[in-house]
Amino acid sequence: MKSKEGTDNVSLVGVFERLQGKYRRTMAEAFGQRLVPMHNRTPIISFTFDDFPLSALEVGGALLREYGLAGTYYVSLGLLDHEEAVGRICSRLHLNDVLAQGHELGCHTFGHCDAWDTEPHLFEKELIKNQHALQNFLPGTTFKTMSYPISTTPRPTTKRQTGLRFACCRTGGQTNNVGTVDLNYVRSFFLEQSRKDPSVIWNLIDENSANKGWLVFSTHDIATQPTRYGCTPEFFFEVVRRAVDSQSRILPVIGALNEVLAPPLNLPKSTPTRHAADWSLA
């Protein structure tokens, strides 16, 4: 039986962790912004997989292909073929498979570095190292988008520096993007956090459709017995089905971003617009 003192200590730790998390989220959101108005004329949904466990492609990718859809796979190339908390990570050969199936490959740092705990200059080196590794594996291929690993909340300096290298950078946040979007902090919804209450997801799909927003779904493994970071094939398929039924455009992140940045139809065709495809990692 725990003593009152021990219970109080546990309670204080919990309070501190919540305050720390709120502080980090506030700092990550408020600073280093790259806000742009959203010009998409229809609602958009994207499916993303962090860490690129093999099941995300073999199971999740197969489910997307049943509807002729593609997603974005955020990979840390230093983890290839490793057993991690999300299961077996993909191999070098699967990188070719992703692109051949029309998916997007995104950056997740080389060694899967925490976006907050890693010093900004070291985080930047990890981005460059991941890009160089991709060039070695798939010459001529570059990462256009990235997602922040682990905490998903970057330090302001990290956020600002990373935003200079990518068309957009994805975080968490458990919501969608409506009206304006911070390209250095594109919000997403982690599916595994609502496995026990999927109505939250169904409501968000409806809300996104009504507001013509951009809803980015994130997860990790797709397996019959998923890790705490993933979901079952049945659960994922139902999310995909409802996304399709919502009449939203379903695109990988880089494709969705081009839609978001597209100029309104009433602008002169000569108006210069910088599209996501114009970005590459320096």
pLDDT confidence of residue 265: 54
pLDDT confidence of residue 22: 83
pLDDT confidence of residue 8: 57
Q: Please write the tens of the pLDDT for every residue from 81-98.
A: 999 999 999 999 999 999
22 class by beta-carbon count within 10 Å (0-12 exposed, 13-18 middle, 19+ buried): exposed
Beta strands in the chain (DSSP E): 35-37, 44-50, 72-75, 83-84, 87-88, 104-107, 145-147, 168-173, 180-182, 186-190, 214-219, 249-250
- Domain at 36-265, CATH class: alpha beta
3-state DSSP assignment of residue 36? strand
**Cβ-contact 213, 42 below 8 angstroms:** no
Q: How far apart are alpha carbons 165 and 280 in whole angstroms?
A: 7
Backbone angles phi and psi of 7, in degrees to 5? -65, -40
pLDDT confidence of residue 19: 79
Query: Residue length, the chain?
Result: 282
Low-confidence stretches of the chain (pLDDT beneath 70): 1-10, 13, 16, 264-282
HSE-CB of 245 using CA atoms within 13 angstroms: 9
pLDDT confidence of residue 221: 98
pLDDT confidence of residue 274: 44
pLDDT confidence of residue 50: 98
Q: Please write the tens of the pLDDT for every residue from 199-244.
A: 999 999 999 999 999 999 999 999 999 999 999 999 999 999 999 9
